[in-house]
Amino acid sequence: MNDGLAIDVEGVTKRFGGRTVVNNLAMRVRRGEIYGFLGPNGSGKTTFLRMLCGLLRPDAGRGSCLGYDIRSQSAEIKQRVGYMTQRFSFYEDLSLEENLDFVARLYAMPDRRQAVARSLESLGLVGRRRQLAGQLSGGWKQRLALAACLIHQPDLLLLDEPTAGVDPKARRDFWEEIHRLAAQGLTFLITTHYMDEAERCHSLGYIAYGNLLARGTVEEVIQGAGLTTWEVSGGGLWELAESLRGLPGIEQVVAFGSTLHVSGRDAARLQSSLEPWRKGPFRWRAVDSSLEDVFISLMDAARDNFQQG
């Protein structure tokens, strides 16, 4: 085991009902790193998180999480990992303080009162400690969930779409907290659908229907995709988009505000297909491919294993 790695696994596979939900996945995450885990719904992200923290047993694969074997030491992993699920899952008729005390009991913490007080203080919840959880807004529920994940002082947090349904300011504040904690040495594996959040991560992995299709820094993922992208503006863009889709070399035509992004991996074929429209009323400009361009391309190319046969 490399002491610099919080997660070091390979060949991780999980099947349900004859379908492979996670297929031969490898991942290495350094301690203190914020690792973004992206992909369309149903691609195996949550299943992989559950295998990492010992809630599911892999059908194949090996490796370690925080130095513990993912197949034989799940109990030890659970004690050192915090897992934040997609949905708010606390007792809404209990106060914040009572909810956190309940979580501390689950971890059999020896000094629950001190642990709860520390959690409330660290996430700015002291002034709301007696408020019922059911009365919280989405952003404050999110903060309570994070406090609960941290109460037993874990080394790794697995956050499954933690900012879904909260407003932009709450999302920004949440990510500021994530970076503060990472600077203190805490490791994060975070699933998200938001491209601006993906760009805040140190490293990324993109999974589609069980298969890891790309990984690396934002710059490495974009460069590795090999996309050429043109931005086009002017009137009649909807009609232009309909005319361009399906032409040789054109893999995607996507609206970006008042412009279109037209992309493909074969720059020469793309250029040839665009040539008849280059002399029209439209304005064309070569642009750097964005992370969203890349992920849309990866998603379009992926094979949905739940639509077979």
Hey, what are 24's tokens? 């031969």
- 5-219 has CATH 3.40.50.300 classification: yes
What CA–CA distance (Å, rounded) separates 220 from 14?
28
**pLDDT band at 303, cuts 50/70/90?**
low
For the ranges 10-14, 159-163, 186-190, which has the lowest average pLDDT? 159-163
For the chain, the average pLDDT equals 90
Full strand arrangement of the beta sheet holding 283-287: 252-256, 259-264, 228-233, 283-287
pLDDT: is 1 or 92 the higher one? Answer: 92
Question: What's 236's DSSP letter?
Answer: -
Which fold does the domain 228-288 belong to in CATH?
Alpha-Beta Plaits (3.30.70)
User: Is residue 157 over pLDDT 70?
Assistant: yes
Beta-sheet strands, E only, within the chain: 5-16, 19-30, 34-38, 60-65, 68-69, 81-84, 156-160, 187-191, 203-208, 211-216, 228-233, 252-256, 259-264, 283-287
- The boundaries of every CATH 3.30.70 domain in the chain are 228-288
Domain with CATH 3.40.50.300 in the chain: 5-219
Nearest-angstrom CA–CA distance, 134 and 141: 8
Is residue 287 pLDDT above 90, yes or no? yes
Non-local (6+) Cβ contacts of 73 within 8 A are none
